[in-house]
Amino acid sequence: MIKYSVVIVDDHTLLSQAIAAMVNTFDKFKVLYTCKNGQELIDKFSESPKFIPDVVLMDINMPIMNGIETTDWISKNHNNVNVMALSVEDEDATILKMLKVGAVGYLLKDTEKSVLEKALIEIAENGFYHTKSVTSLLMKSLSGKGEEEVKLNDRQKSFMKYACSELTYKEIADKMCLSPKTIDGYRDVLFTKLNVKNRVGLVMYAIKNKIYTP
Beta carbon of residue 143, minimum distance to its own copies (angstroms, whole number): 28
Work out what residue 52 binds among DNA, its own copies, none; the CB cut-off runs from 5 to 8 Å by kind: none
The entry of DNA, its own copies, none near residue 179 (CB within 5 to 8 angstroms by kind) is DNA
Least Cβ distance, residue 197 to DNA (angstroms): 5
What is the binding site for its own copies (CB under 8 A)? 11-15, 17-19, 21-22, 25, 36, 86, 88, 107-113, 116, 163-166, 168, 196-201, 203-204, 207-208, 214
**3-state SS record for 156-197:** HHHHHHHHCCCCCHHHHHHHCCCCHHHHHHHHHHHHHHHCCC
Smallest separation (angstroms) from DNA to the CB of 177: 8
- Contacting residues for 129 by C-beta, under 8 A, at least 6 apart: 84, 104, 105, 118, 119, 120, 122, 123
Phi-psi label, residue 181: left if phi above 0, alpha if psi -120 to 50, beta otherwise: alpha
Considering only residues 107 to 166 of the shown chain, the ones binding DNA according to CB under 7 A are: 153, 155
CB of 107 to its own copies, least distance (A): 8
CA angle 164, 161, 193 (to 5 degrees): 95
Size of residue set near DNA by CB under 7 A:
20
Please identify, using beta-carbon distances, which residue of 100 and 157 lies nearer to DNA: 157
Instruction: Give the residue ranges of DSSP H helices in 11-112.
Output: 13-23, 38-47, 67-77, 92-100
CA distance 172 to 183: 8
| Chosen from its own copies, DNA, none, partner binding at 54 (C-beta under 5 to 8 Å by type) | none
Min dist CB 202 to DNA, Å, is 7
Please select the residue that binds DNA; options are 30, 93, 169, 174, rule is CB under 7 A.
169
Alpha-carbon 81 to chain mean position: 17
Give the side-chain half-sphere CA count within 13 A for 111.
19
Q: Which does 170 bind (CB under 5 to 8 A by kind): DNA, its own copies, none?
A: DNA
Residues that bind DNA (CB under 7 A): 153, 155, 168-170, 178-182, 184-188, 191, 197-200
